[in-house]
Amino acid sequence: MRSPLHSLGILLIHLLLALPSPPPANALSPDGLALLSFKSAVTDDPSSALSSWSDTDADPCRWVGVTCANTTTSGAPSVVGVAVAGKNLSGHLPPNLFSLRFLRRLNLHGNRLTGPIPPALASATSLRSLFLYDNLLTGTLPAAALCALPRLQNLDLSSNALAGAVPPELARCGDLERLLLADNELSGRIPAAVWAGMPALQMLDLSGNNFSGAIPPELGKLPALAGTLNLSRNHLSGGVPPELGRLPATVTLDLRFNNLSGEIPQSGSLASQGPTAFLNNPGLCGFPLQVPCRAAAPSSSSTSSAAAVTSSSVAASKGGSAGSRQPIRTSLIVLISVADAAGVALIGVVAVYVYWKVRDRRRAAAGNGKDGKCGGAGGEDDDDEEGRGLFPCPCPCMRADACADSSSDYSDEDDGKCNGGGGAAGEAGGELVAIDKGFKMELDELLRSSAYVLGKGGKGIVYKVVVGNGTTPVAVRRLGGGAAAPERYREFAAEAGAVGRVRHPNVVRLRAFYWSADEKLVVTDFVNNGNLAAVLRGRSGQPSLSWQLRLRIAKGAARGLAHLHECSPRRFVHGEVKPSNILLDADYNALVADFGLARLLTIAGCTDVYSVAGSGGIMGGALPYARPAAAAALAVDARSAAYRAPEARAPAGVAAARPPSQKSDVYSFGVVLLELITGRAPDLGGSPPSASFSAGHGGELPAEAPELVRWVRRGFEDARPLSELADDAVLRDAAARKEVIAALHVALGCVEADPDRRPRMKTVAESLDKIGA
pLDDT of 635 strictly over 80: no
Q: CB–CB of 51/37 below 8 Å? A: no
Average pLDDT over residues 360-385: 38
pLDDT tens, residue by residue, 228-244? 899 999 999 999 999 99
Residues 58 and 207 in one domain: yes
Of 107-121, 373-387, 725-739, the poorest mean pLDDT is in: 373-387
Residue 155: name the closest of 524, 166, 164, 302 by CA. 166
Residues 561 and 449 in one domain: no
Residues 454 and 558 in one domain: no
Q: CB–CB of 76/53 below 8 Å? A: no
Phi, psi for 31 (deg, rounded to 5): -65, -40
CA distance 600 to 459: 10
Residue 500: name the closest of 606, 429, 385, 420 by CA. 420
pLDDT tier, 270 (very low <50, low <70, confident <90, very high otherwise): confident
Helix locations, 705-760, DSSP H: 707-717, 722-725, 737-750
pLDDT tier, 693 (very low <50, low <70, confident <90, very high otherwise): very low
How high is the pLDDT of residue 722? 84
Instruction: Tell me the residue length of the chain.
Output: 773
Residue at 306 is within a domain: no
pLDDT of 750 strictly over 80: yes
Residue 409: name the closest of 491, 506, 529, 520 by CA. 491
How high is the pLDDT of residue 617? 44
Strands lying side by side in the sheet with 519-525: 432-434, 510-516, 519-525, 472-480, 460-467, 450-457
Residue at 344 is within a domain: no
Residues 101 and 241 in one domain: yes
Residue at 187 is within a domain: yes
Residues 485 and 562 in one domain: no
Residue 211: name the closest of 181, 241, 239 by CA. 181
Amino acid making up residue 279:
L
Residues 396 and 519 in one domain: yes
pLDDT of 558 strictly over 70: yes
Residue at 98 is within a domain: yes
pLDDT of 300 strictly over 70: no
Of 186-200, 298-312, 351-365, 683-697, the poorest mean pLDDT is in: 298-312
Residue at 765 is within a domain: yes
Q: Which of 227, 257, 285 is the last residue of a domain?
A: 285
- Distance of alpha carbon 654 from the chain centroid: 26
β-strand partners of 453: 463
Q: Say which CATH number the domain at 122 has.
A: 3.80.10.10
Residue at 420 is within a domain: yes
How high is the pLDDT of residue 289? 82
More confident residue, 299 or 232: 232
How high is the pLDDT of residue 548? 92
More confident residue, 562 or 21: 562
How high is the pLDDT of residue 295? 65
Residues 602 and 571 in one domain: no
Helix or strand (DSSP H, E) at 522: strand 519-525
Residue at 636 is within a domain: no
Please give the tally of structural domains in the chain: 3
Residues 161 and 251 in one domain: yes
- 394: cis peptide before it, omega within 30°? yes
How high is the pLDDT of residue 135? 95
Per the structure, the complete domain to which residue 736 belongs is given by 544-576+643-773
Q: Which of 219, 252, 285 is the last residue of a domain?
A: 285
How high is the pLDDT of residue 225? 87
DSSP helix/strand/coil, 654: coil
Alpha-carbon separation of residue 128 from 105, 145, 160, 167, 720 (angstroms): 6, 13, 20, 21, 11
Q: Which of 233, 254, 285 is the last residue of a domain?
A: 285
Q: CB–CB of 44/91 below 8 Å? A: yes
Residues 520 and 608 in one domain: yes
Q: Say which CATH number the domain at 554 has.
A: 1.10.510.10
pLDDT of 305 strictly over 80: no
Of 19-28, 110-119, 675-684, the poorest mean pLDDT is in: 19-28
pLDDT of 168 strictly over 50: yes
pLDDT tens, residue by residue, 424-464? 334 445 678 888 766 777 776 666 655 667 766 666 678 88
Residues 702 and 611 in one domain: no
Alpha-carbon separation of residue 74 from 26, 71, 79, 126 (angstroms): 21, 8, 15, 19
Q: Say which CATH number the domain at 391 has.
A: 3.30.200.20
Amino acid making up residue 593:
A
pLDDT tens, residue by residue, 80-104? 999 999 899 999 999 999 999 899 9
Residues 681 and 727 in one domain: yes
Residue at 752 is within a domain: yes
Q: What is the dihedral of CA 577, 288, 207, 666, to 10 degrees?
A: 0
Residues 623 and 771 in one domain: no
